[in-house]
Amino acid sequence: MSSPAITSETLPAGPAATPLDDMDSLIATYEQRIFRFHLVSIRDHDLALTLTQDTFTRAWAARASFRGDCAIFTWLMRIALNLIRDHTRTDRFRFWKKVSETAVDVSDVSEHIPHRESSPEAALIAREQLALVWDSVARLSTRQRNVFMLRFVEELELAEIAQIAQLPISTVKTHLYRALATLRAEHNGARRGEHAKESL
Amino acid sequence: MRTPVTHHLTHHLTHEQLCDVLLASPSEQDSAAIEAADDHLRNCLTCSSELASLRDSLTLFRQAAGSYAAQTYSRPAMRRSSIAPAPGFRSHMLYWATAAALAIAVALPLSLRHQQTPAPQPAAAAIVNTHSTESDEALLDGIAQDLSADVPAAMHPLADPTASTTASPSTPEQRKN
């Protein structure tokens, strides 16, 4: 069963004119970024596609409630974040452990490590570094992970993250400190292992 | 005179200080706390190498994840699966469609067989009837033939002896009997 693409034509007509009425350009501008956030957050390709479409469908349905007190992207990301929260809250969803044909593995992502002018050894180290971050992120709580993604993948400012997550900046910082503590612990453990190998 | 440097070297950056350096936006780089941390980092190989390693890992993660997402993102895929039938829903649909197809595949030949099965019975009955009709007719024909057949000579009624004397003279054979 195939359904039509989300465009302003396929979406039901709504009441008043808002900045979100031009859904086609909105999708063209933000779809890829929203998809990236979903994909990296939930690590499932099909689910990321579905949630990306849900994000725009919800945005269209709720466009009358957009007051313009934040950027459109911030508003869309807030919807995206809520969708992820709703989805990960369900019992059926076994976060990060879900066995799915479309689940994203670190080996899929490590193929995309940028090719620097480096030796095979350096490439191997880069893969290990990526795997380390990948595994560390998997161990974070949902809140920590969301905030971590917004900061280190989407490269958003703390104030924007606070708006999206609807949290005080201090709380956002706390989540980031904890997330980075997990990452540092993994990192330092790996480095100690490397030093031990070198000394042998 | 930079006495704080010695202090910084004996006490490495705290976790929060290190995080603040990582999280600092360009506009925050000039803050006193960040400047102090930078000062320490310039003189502390342990902290600076750890920070560099963390930054490198985070950059790798962002670049690889971004590149992977960009590659897997495709408009046609989005169009195919738009308006959100969830993967679970799709797999359920596939499951039920397969189940329905199997049910039809099993039921159709059975129903056809069921429809065809009564047909041979009337045919057989017709054949039996035809056979029985034929045999009945043959029997009746046979009876009719038997009935219509000439009565054997031995069964012919005897001729009136008186009539024979008057009407026709008897043969020498008759006289012998």
Tell me the domain boundaries of chain B: 3-75, 87-142
> B4 vs chain A: nearest CA distance in angstroms?
25
B130-135: long-range contacts at Cβ-Cβ below 8 A with a sequence spacing of 24 or more? none
A103, β-bridge pairs:
A44
Diameter of chain A by CA atoms?
72
Average pLDDT in the A8-13 region? 59
Q: Give dist(CA B71, CA A129) in Å, integer.
A: 21
Q: Check residue B143 and give its pLDDT.
A: 73
**CB-based contact A133:A158 (threshold 8 Å):** no
Residue B11 has pLDDT above 50, yes or no: yes
Contacts of B71 in chain A (CB under 8 A): 112
Q: How confident is the model at residue B89 (pLDDT cuts 50, 70, 90)?
A: very low
Q: How confident is the model at residue B74 (pLDDT cuts 50, 70, 90)?
A: low
CB contact (8 A) between residue B66 and residue A6: no
- pLDDT tens profile A81-108: 999 988 887 755 665 555 566 677 777 7
Pick the more confident residue, A7 or A108: A108
Domains observed in chain A: 12-104 (1.10.1740.10), 116-200 (1.10.10.10)
Least CB–CB distance from B19: residue in A2, A180, A187? A180
CB contact (8 A) between residue A181 and residue B15: yes
- State which amino acid sits at residue B118: P
Q: Give dist(CA B35, CA B11) in Å, integer.
A: 16
Angle between helices A120-138 and A169-199 (to 10 degrees): 140
Average pLDDT in the B71-77 region? 66
A44, β-bridge pairs:
A103
CB contact (8 A) between residue A132 and residue B23: no
- pLDDT tens profile B98-122: 777 777 777 777 777 766 655 555 5
Using a cut of 0.80, tell me whether the model's pTM lies above it.
no
Q: Distances in Å between the alpha carbon of A62 and those of A21, A37, A75, B84?
A: 11, 21, 11, 17
Phi and psi of A44, rounded to 5°? Answer: -145, 120
